[in-house]
Amino acid sequence: MGYVRNALATWVLSFAAALVAVPALGAEAGSGLKWAGDFGPPQGAPIHAVLTSPPEVPPATNRFYPAKVIVDLEVIEKQMQISEGVSYTFWTFGGTVPGSFIRVRQGDTVEFHLKNNPANKMPHNIDLHGVTGPGGGAASSFTAPGHESQFTFKALNEGIYVYHCATAPVGMHVANGMYGLILVEPPQGLPKVDHEYYVMQGDFYTSGKYREKGAQAFDMEKAIDERPTYVLFNGAEGSLTGDRAITARTNETVRLFIGNGGPNLVSSFHVIGAIFDRVRNEGGSEIQTNVQTTLIPAGGAASVEFRTKVPGSYVMVDHSIFRAFNKGALAILKVAGEEDKSIYSGKELDSVYLGDRSQPNMNAVSKATAAAAGGRLTLKDQVDAGRDLFAGTCSVCHQGNGEGLSGVFPPLAKSDYLAAQPRRAIDIALHGLNGKVTVNGTEYNSVMPPMNQLNDDEIANILTYVLNSWGNPGGSILTEDVRKVRAGGTTAGGSEH
């Protein structure tokens, strides 16, 4: 008996909450009584679903009756940037990775139109996890380039669901970015928040190494072995950092719809410096509170909510942490507003966590890559790109102004050690340095770790920047020079070219 009463009380409460949230309800009060499930025939004129590109989420349906909702989704195969100066041919739902966000209401009858752009090379289909029926729509939606298919389903369960392509080889279609989220709102709608954002993780397998420049092909072997080159939020490194970070102000509520397209990895989703007040883990209906890190399975999703309290940059990561700092799984929520010293004494962030993503953008790196590809790389291109890359890699120790830290990290500015054999720096960057060195009359006996996670052109540009800054002697280091040293060649006693 107690249970029944409690359940009733909860129901009445959520009913009351919805009444407060949506003043327009009065007109629809009749249908309100069926909120436990509102599966009558579609009412009113058919509605075209508003689809949004990530990180945007369509507005609430604000609807209190079941409708017929038409979804038009087009598959587009296109080359896009996966990292600065690195391009990849993505297969997309709606032209973005992840695909367009779809929002409907429980009880809606969804008429789904899947179009396969005539310029595409591959057939595709769609499996929506929010569909009840074999294949989640996959069998009814197999579509050749230049064709369109149509199927209809009733959104029976509320929740946040992944959709993805399920055309063979399925793993390859998913790895190329063919996934997205569909939100099925509960009949009474979701509690109002100030911001909703759409973030989706995926793992990517390229023939080249992490950040290796140029057009990269899909690598089936790496994919089968589950050895991703990139682990990314919203399909590209930097898609949610710098001037593309998502934003909020202090004392606002934020709801993130977090999906994981996989194809292989599960995500330990964490926002550095924030605690999730409420999580619907696995997208289910139970609400979990006070969560630090929530697991998002491949082919799963969750919604997390929190109130922003302290201004600053909050770094969202997959807390399998090498993925964040060495494979790209890093995004930023920028919170503007007044400091609250009673909650956090502050020292604005944590460039430690932002690393080489602390730059507002990496345009200089892209520009240098394009110039190098076109055979017209200038010294200035290299210096500009090197400046962006130096920040967050070398600057952690040698400092942004190259002065180092007295007794701990030697200076690069006007370093006589560097000037004596500039090309020896290639070896230092690749292999690190330890043992006694004397720089400008001061002895250092410490350890610099190898920086060989940087690729050849990154090291070339960084060193060229260092050589042309702070009164150093100038000159340039080219990608080939670094490649030779990495391959085991010698720096030839610092001879200049």
Q: Which residues bind ligand HEC (CB under 6 A)?
A: 393-394, 396-398, 409-412, 415, 417-418, 425, 428-429, 433-435, 437, 439, 444-449, 451, 462-463, 466
Query: Exposed, middle or buried: residue 283 (CB in 10 Å: 0-12, 13-18, 19+)?
Result: buried
List the beta strands (DSSP E) in 3-119.
47-48, 68-83, 86-93, 102-105, 109-116
Q: Which does 435 bind (CB under 5 to 8 A by kind): Cu ion, ligand HEC, none?
A: ligand HEC
Report whether 153 contacts 114 (CB < 8 A): no
Decide whether 185 or 356 has the Cβ nearer to ligand HEC: 356
At 29, the amino acid letter reads A
Nearest residue to Cu ion, by Cβ distance, number only: 165
Decide whether 310 or 394 has the Cβ nearer to ligand HEC: 394
Q: 132-138: long-range contacts (C-beta < 8 A, 24 or more apart)?
A: 132/156, 132/157, 135/166, 136/163, 136/166, 137/112, 138/166, 138/167
Q: Which does 124 bind (CB under 5 to 8 A by kind): ligand HEC, Cu ion, none?
A: Cu ion
Is 173 an interacting residue with respect to Cu ion (CB under 5 A)? yes
Assigned token pair, 262: 């996989």
Reduced to 3 states (helix: H, G, I; strand: E, B; else coil), residue 91 is strand
Is 280 an interacting residue with respect to Cu ion (CB under 5 A)? no
Q: Which does 434 bind (CB under 5 to 8 A by kind): Cu ion, ligand HEC, none?
A: ligand HEC
Decide whether 205 or 417 has the Cβ nearer to ligand HEC: 417
Handedness of CA 392, 395, 397, 399 (dihedral sign): negative
Which range of residues in 167-175, 363-371, 399-407, 411-419 is near Cu ion by CB under 5 A?
A: 167-175
Q: How far is CA 290 from CA 279, 301, 320, 325, 445, in A?
A: 8, 18, 20, 26, 46
Decide whether 7 or 224 has the Cβ nearer to Cu ion: 224
Torsion angle of C-alpha atoms 113, 117, 121, 124, degrees rounded to 10: -10
The site string for Cu ion over 118-137 (x = CB under 5 A, - otherwise) reads ------x-------------
Decide whether 74 or 456 has the Cβ nearer to Cu ion: 74
Can you tell me which of 172, 178, 231, 331 binds Cu ion, judged by CB under 5 A? 178
Question: ∠361-363-368 over CA atoms, to 5°?
Answer: 145
* Total residues interacting with Cu ion, rule: CB under 5 A: 5
CB of 431 to ligand HEC, least distance (A): 11
CB of 368 to ligand HEC, least distance (A): 16
CB of 331 to ligand HEC, least distance (A): 24
Decide whether 258 or 467 has the Cβ nearer to ligand HEC: 467
Q: Quote the CA–CA distance of 316 and 305 in Å, as a whole number.
A: 14
CB of 439 to ligand HEC, least distance (A): 4
Is 25 an interacting residue with respect to Cu ion (CB under 5 A)? no
Q: Quote the CA–CA distance of 98 and 260 in Å, as a whole number.
A: 9
Is 165 an interacting residue with respect to Cu ion (CB under 5 A)? yes
Q: Quote the CA–CA distance of 88 and 482 in Å, as a whole number.
A: 25
CB of 123 to ligand HEC, least distance (A): 46
Q: How many residues does the chain have?
A: 497
Is 167 an interacting residue with respect to Cu ion (CB under 5 A)? yes
Q: Which does 429 bind (CB under 5 to 8 A by kind): ligand HEC, Cu ion, none?
A: ligand HEC
Which range of residues in 60-68, 177-185, 371-379, 440-448 is near Cu ion by CB under 5 A?
A: 177-185
Token pair 């054999």 is found at 421
CB of 388 to Cu ion, least distance (A): 35
Assigned token pair, 99: 């695909």
CB of 55 to ligand HEC, least distance (A): 32
Token pair 């599960």 is found at 266
Q: Which does 397 bind (CB under 5 to 8 A by kind): ligand HEC, Cu ion, none?
A: ligand HEC
Report whether 79 contacts 89 (CB < 8 A): yes
Which residues between 317 and 356 bind Cu ion (CB under 5 A)?
Answer: none
Residues that bind Cu ion (CB under 5 A): 124, 165, 167, 173, 178
